[in-house]
Structure 1
């Protein structure tokens, strides 16, 4: 069965992006997919008249514009955009350099913004579309020692996507934040998880968290990326779309823990919270 919607997926040569492209092609969608290497995409996916592999530099709006133009020229439109490209960064705030932190923001945050900026004219013109921004449960809860910068990038994605959803609603365009838990991809492998060039050994909790993710969690994640891909397709085809989509039972539990924790703190400190207004001034006679 051939589907009419055209998908544009970034970071598609491995992990969730690759699973999504494979599932989409199997279901008969037209798919444009990006990576730093077009050849890497072709090796991973193969050749198909429904598949457009693209080499894209997410730090270059010119490169992104060219990719979107090629997609529209080949398939006639673009309907669903998945900003999936990104990478992990482990390290305490003190030991990560400015350059290491900014590089993570350049891809995870500004790369996503660059795609949105360049694809929106097409979506506005057709008065329809759906943008999925892939965040993380680490974009909703940040109490993971050693993942402060990575969490900060994902908190940023969640914040601007909430604003985006309100900005584009009147154009008939949807926006969804996707917050996965742990899925069995290469995300925790050395090729995707960067670590500090100059670690500070005094950070015991950071080293323990880093070792847990690299040596124990890696390869043992509960989440199936193929099922995550199917979930995205299901949401894209639904009449209504969630603003927040959590994926994985671990993400579900962690999200509720955060919600309950904030609720408890709100009530515990309510008297301080509401004590900050100006005192009522009686009206002059």
Structure 2
């Protein structure tokens, strides 16, 4: 039997009931993803800093295992993956969802808060995926889903720390894809636009203290604008969760998924902007090779 035939056979016998491992499942989008996976008949390992809160959010279900996980702690990640395998024997879909939002102008975000953003929303997925990959490799199957953001495609003011972490996640996940593809493991980056999650609530968002007069008025206006959006975002997280369950069933999930019409618009605008930038100084760009051999 050839390797190709072996792979095809694996796809055909892919178990209907899969094991989903979801970070940040105690509230927001993570809870919606866990509910959607459970409703589709899958087993779910729902993780969060407070597993009791996770259990309360999702209710009783024989297919549910709530596990403590602080994504910034590699030891926690290893223990949570072990608990998942002990209970269900495997992990089929890893969803890196846990996150927060440290907002503010670069000069006003403290170095500690900037680093904390990177630790949670970039190194968090890295820690959990590093713990899970040996399981997925042994299975020769699996899907790693990482919730990024349109801020991982286009940066903007007040987003320096958050966008830095999401741009980092994009580069890491895109580079990971060809490394693990030979083992039957796929990766999918999800870039939501504005969804009515809990990201903009006081529990998830931390605004830098206004300390520099030059930024004071813009800070006031920007914070007010962000706060006014909380609970009014156009996207429905339950629909996004259902879409992810649907995409996870594909033999070839997309490397990137633009979540929401606004995200599709961001993708299109960014593609045009990059092409325009490449064309802007084309003659100079193309003149930089060594002369001769």
TM-score, structure 1 as length reference = 0.94
Partner in structure 2 of residue 113 of structure 1: 126
Indicate yes or no: 2:73 matched with 1:25: no
Backbone CA RMSD of aligned residues: 1.3
Partner in structure 2 of residue 84 of structure 1: 97
Partner in structure 1 of residue 176 of structure 2: 164
Is the CA contact 1:92–1:146 (under 8 Å) kept in the aligned structure 2? Answer: yes
Partner in structure 1 of residue 9 of structure 2: none
Partner in structure 2 of residue 230 of structure 1: 242
Which residue, out of 110, 116, 119, partners 1:103? Answer: 116
Q: What displacement does 1:148 show?
A: 1.0
What is the alpha-carbon distance in structure 2 between the residues aligned to residue 35 and residue 201 of structure 1? 38
Greater than 3 Å deviation, 4+ residue runs: 204-207
What is the alpha-carbon distance in structure 2 between the residues aligned to residue 60 and residue 6 of structure 1? 22
Task: State the SS of the aligned residue for 1:96.
Answer: coil
Indicate yes or no: 2:113 matched with 1:61: no
More displaced stretch, 55-64 vs 88-97: 55-64
What is the alpha-carbon distance in structure 2 between the residues aligned to residue 237 and residue 206 of structure 1? 43
Partner in structure 1 of residue 61 of structure 2: 48
What is the alpha-carbon distance in structure 1 between the residues aligned to residue 28 and residue 200 of structure 2? 11
Size of the aligned set, in residue pairs, is 278
What is the alpha-carbon distance in structure 2 between the residues aligned to residue 200 and residue 43 of structure 1? 42
Is the CA contact 1:128–1:171 (under 8 Å) kept in the aligned structure 2? Answer: yes
Partner in structure 2 of residue 72 of structure 1: 85
Structure 1: gaps of 5 or more residues: none
Structure 2: gaps of 5 or more residues: 1-14
What is the alpha-carbon distance in structure 2 between the residues aligned to residue 251 and residue 85 of structure 1? 20
TM-score, structure 2 as length reference = 0.92
Is the CA contact 2:210–2:219 (under 8 Å) kept in the aligned structure 1? Answer: no
Which residue, out of 149, 172, 191, partners 2:161? Answer: 149
Partner in structure 2 of residue 8 of structure 1: 21
Task: State the SS of the aligned residue for 1:133.
Answer: strand
What is the alpha-carbon distance in structure 2 between the residues aligned to residue 277 and residue 28 of structure 1? 57
Is the CA contact 1:91–1:199 (under 8 Å) kept in the aligned structure 2? Answer: no
Q: What displacement does 1:201 show?
A: 4.0
What is the alpha-carbon distance in structure 2 between the residues aligned to residue 192 and residue 84 of structure 1? 13
What is the alpha-carbon distance in structure 2 between the residues aligned to residue 172 and residue 252 of structure 1? 28
Partner in structure 2 of residue 127 of structure 1: 140
Partner in structure 2 of residue 266 of structure 1: 278
Q: What displacement does 1:206 show?
A: 4.4
What is the alpha-carbon distance in structure 2 between the residues aligned to residue 233 and residue 67 of structure 1? 22
Partner in structure 1 of residue 262 of structure 2: 250
Is the CA contact 1:145–1:205 (under 8 Å) kept in the aligned structure 2? Answer: no
1:169-220 Cα distance to aligned partner (Å, 9 max, x none): 00000001110000001111111111113543422444433321112x2111
